[in-house]
Amino acid sequence: MNTRYNLKCSVCNQLISIRSQVSTFVDSYIAIIYCGNCKTEIKIKITDVEVELLSNSIYSPVKSLDDSSDDEELFFIELAPDFFTTKMKKYSNIKNTTFETPFLNTISDIKHKNYDEYMKKIMLFLVYQLDWPKIKTINDLWVNKQYEYIQKYAEEILDKWGFLKEMIKLGNENEIFEIHRYLHYVQFYYFAKILGNKMFYKNIEYIQENIKKLITTESGIIFLDFFSSSNLLDNYENKLIDIMNDFNAIFIKIIPVFSLDYFKDLNLENYGMTSVSFYELISFYEKAYENLIEVSMILIGLNNIRHRNNYDELRDTTKETFTEFIEKDKGKGAILKEKFLGDEEFDKFIIETFDSELRNAFAHRDYHIDWIEQSLTYYSKKSKTNIRIFLVDLAYMCMKIMYTVVYLNEIIYQVKRFWLLKSSPNIVKNIMNHKSKGLNDIQKFKNKQNIKNRKKKKRK
């Protein structure tokens, strides 16, 4: 359902014509727009029955389009949380101007098949998101080392999702190996619902196969002992959990970016989003960036084993070792990207996430935002030019960060898993009895999804 109405800015008396669309996914949402004249922020709560100006708004509503004359100029903008919307523009004779709805614009570009796939993916993830309070409890219990309570919650969630029977127990409930395994698969199944695609599963399988090869080498065993004895793996896991928690809070506000890959050519000069602000995305990006810088150290160590057969030998020509580097100030993003990340085996799991110049612009507040254009401009010292990105671009970057988070989480899980196996001979015996080569639960999950899809195609 679409509702069209006017607002009047109480600061400059500028008329703003709005067309709002109710959400397919949520009962209500908060739209964020700016006066086309004085750039003052307004937040509007949209439900399926009413449009409500929030209490901190300085706007007053004008009830009808008839309150504007035929030749009066006013700004027009669309509001929709599920789709990209037309950005604010100034029009004259707005009453006689017609616009396609965000829904029709989306369908015409990405076609019905892709639209159905997009809608299904979002709706299924939102069903999973109902269990987020329990998942967050599991994450918090792990961070606070309250391990004895985790498996109960994890089994409840996995049973509800239909995956518990796939989880063959390999050890006693109190063994950290078993608890860690349940924690990981709750996290994986949750994010696979929204991120899962062919490349996603291909990368996960690559990680599983190659970590095993590297960790079982002589250099890999030394690498394993170094990371495990220094508590770095626990620290890295906690930082990734921190990003997971933050992403879950902004997901509902960036839903449209999950349709972006289906578009042939979305003109970001004309289309944008009204469900999230630059400041919310900047806050998420900054915090996630800092955490990922530190966690990415494990990728450098794995690259050292893969390319130089020595986890402590960096590809840089200096005499500094990996151990010395990792103990220094946690490293800096620019140094990591320029010297140690780029074209080696494990760099592909994070390299797109790193933009040290963008991060520095955010950290130093050295950027300019055009609220009407929905663009952010910052200066690049490397190219010596101004770079402009749109709100949609930044939301897409934040979404891509979660791929990096899941990949890194899988890497850390596999490394830690081998370390726990070293001290758990009974578990190794159980694995051999099941003839599972480590019980690839993720492959089972993927196979289960494929079976479901084949059954649906047959029914059609």
Q: What is the mean pLDDT of the chain?
A: 83
Query: pLDDT digit string (tens) for 16-63?
Result: 888 888 888 888 889 999 999 999 888 888 887 677 776 445 555 554
Average pLDDT of span 86-99: 73
What pLDDT was estimated at residue 96?
Answer: 57
**Calpha distance 177→105 (Å, rounded):** 50
pLDDT band of residue 142 (cuts 50, 70, 90) is very high
**pLDDT score of 424 more than 90:** no
**Calpha distance 15→63 (Å, rounded):** 11
What pLDDT was estimated at residue 46?
Answer: 86
DSSP state of 231: T
**pLDDT score of 436 more than 50:** no
Kindly give the pairing relationship between strand 15-21 and strand 73-79: parallel
Which residue type sits at 429? K
**Calpha distance 194→454 (Å, rounded):** 20
Query: pLDDT digit string (tens) for 391-421?
Result: 999 999 999 999 999 999 999 999 998 888 7
**Calpha distance 415→219 (Å, rounded):** 13
Q: How many CA atoms lie within 13 A of 4 on its CB side?
A: 15
The residue extents of the domains of the chain are: 2-102, 196-423
CA distance readout (Å), 376 to 176, 185, 386, 454 = 46, 38, 10, 45
Which residue type sits at 255? I
Q: How many CA atoms lie within 13 A of 227 on its CB side?
A: 32
Nearest CA-CA partner of 407 in 347, 354, 331 = 347
Average pLDDT of span 286-293: 92
**For 24-28, which contacts have Cβ atoms below 8 Å and span 24 or more sequence positions?**
24/82, 24/119, 24/123, 25/81, 25/82, 25/122, 25/123, 25/126, 25/252, 25/255, 26/81, 26/126, 26/252
What pLDDT was estimated at residue 150?
Answer: 92
pLDDT band of residue 13 (cuts 50, 70, 90) is confident
What pLDDT was estimated at residue 435?
Answer: 44
- With contact defined as beta carbons under 8 Å apart, do 305 and 330 qualify? no
What pLDDT was estimated at residue 186?
Answer: 95
What pLDDT was estimated at residue 391?
Answer: 97
pTM of the model: 0.88
pLDDT band of residue 344 (cuts 50, 70, 90) is confident
- With contact defined as beta carbons under 8 Å apart, do 415 and 224 qualify? yes
**Calpha distance 252→128 (Å, rounded):** 13
Helix, strand, coil distribution of the chain in percent, nearest 5: 55, 15, 30
Query: pLDDT digit string (tens) for 366-377?
Result: 999 999 999 999
